[in-house]
Amino acid sequence: MGNFIKENKIIIAVIFASLILGGFYYASQLSKQKSIEKQQTIKLQEERIIEEKKLKEKTLLESKKKACASEAEQNALERYKIFCTPENYCVYKERYYITSVYETAYKTCLQKEGLK
């Protein structure tokens, strides 16, 4: 066994060096892969947060528009009830209103809310 080691020192040194270098290379590649996976996970989380934020903004915008529509309808109904008298040649009908009054009230509400 002693002669074998003496005769093959270079081969044994190359094998050990290869194992050590291969281990370091494998470890660095594994670390790189984990880093890439972590970056992808972070990117997906950021995209999900952005999408959730957009959805919340859209939902808030829609709810504000619905509130404005409801407010404008109430305003138009009340104004129609006041306006519609026999002197104005008008016969009051439930749930009717003047469209231009509704549109003006709706636009006013949207402007008040900072919407278009």
Separation CA 85–CA 90 (nearest Å): 5
Each residue's pLDDT tens digit, 12-26: 888 999 999 999 999
In the chain, the number of structural domains is 1
Is the CB of residue 79 less than 8 Å from the CB of residue 102? no
pTM: 0.61
Each residue's pLDDT tens digit, 22-72: 999 999 999 999 999 999 999 999 999 999 999 999 999 999 999 999 999
CA-CA-CA-CA torsion sign (82, 83, 85, 91): negative
